[in-house]
Copies of this chain bind each other. A is one copy, B any other.
């Protein structure tokens, strides 16, 4: 089969002809990939930014990238129950053990013995991929793999952060979304579908703000240097109860906490920067800073419900798998509108 593999850090992926993956454990499932999302993390991986994590996991190059996957069940292990060949599925990005306390508590993203395909084992930029039965969700309501693949990681991460924030967003509250890109535009739709909050979107791009308003944002704020003041003006001078930061680098993470109202919460989703908040500010304003990983299996099932109901839609650009390096070039060059989707 074909697979887009990384042979060396800082080098382009190579389309290789490789063996199809084979079942090795009783809970294994081989999925025929229908679509795989391209993520900025794939570029970070190529650049070696995740080398330490990969070495700790004893990954050896070359290997196949791709961690946002959907497709159809192709073959199932001896202990797999409930899936038939041909079932359309989306793949939770973590292969989890099902036995540890976290798995047993519904926090499977904190599984004590997980693997992350596309990062530390072969992923979905290929015709087929091996995964586990525990991370498959059947697609229903007419959803197709190509429509939803990007929800497997980008959507799931945005949904997870919004779900946490929803608990404190009563009528009259405001939520700031920083970064209206791949994750941000899903977060905006989730906020509008799940909460009565007013949504303020901050971005450096006018077209991104325009799209944000089309999909439900109440206010768009162009980040030109005075965005903290503008947000304050939109929130009675006090700041917002919720700030969700999909950037969290290049200094954004220094200014974002200033947009948070006293007793409010700053949700960190993006990464690259470093928090720098006085402990005096933490206590005097009694604010919270909440880290956000990808969501749980049930989170993904809930997001699929929103997608099937038409409440959350993805903006995508489709490429054949052969053109993966074009897709990556477009993403790096800022020419990729919406999430890039690879079709094998």
List residues of chain A with CB under 8 Å of any chain B CB.
Answer: 25-27, 78-79, 81-82, 97-99, 101-102, 104-110, 133-134, 163, 167, 170-172, 193-196, 248-249, 253, 262-263, 268-293, 296-298, 301-303, 305-306, 309, 311
Contacts and interface: CB of A to CB of B under 8 A. Distances in A.
Nearest to A98: B98
Contact of A275 (B102, B109, B277, B309): B277
Nearest to A247: B279
Report, nearest first, the 9 A-B pairs whose CB atoms are least far apart. Answer: A282-B291, A79-B79, A26-B79, A172-B305, A248-B279, A286-B293, A171-B302, A271-B280, A289-B289
Contacts of A271: 278-280, 282-284
A329 B24 CA distance: 53
18 contacts: A82-B99, A104-B296, A109-B286, A171-B194, A171-B309, A172-B305, A194-B196, A196-B311, A248-B279, A268-B282, A270-B279, A271-B279, A274-B277, A275-B289, A282-B292, A283-B292, A286-B292, A288-B290
Given A98-B98, A280-B271, A301-B101, A110 B79 contact: no
B272 A275 contact: no
A276 to B, nearest CB: 6
Contacts of A277: 274-275
A78 to B, nearest CB: 6
Given A101-B298, A196-B193, A298-B104, A283 B293 contact: yes
Contacts of A134: 98-99
A272 B278 CA distance: 7
Contact of A283 (B172, B268, B288): B268
A178 to B, nearest CB: 12
A268 B134 CA distance: 35
Given A194-B171, A288-B288, A289-B282, A110 B303 contact: no
A248 to B, nearest CB: 4
A263 B99 CA distance: 18
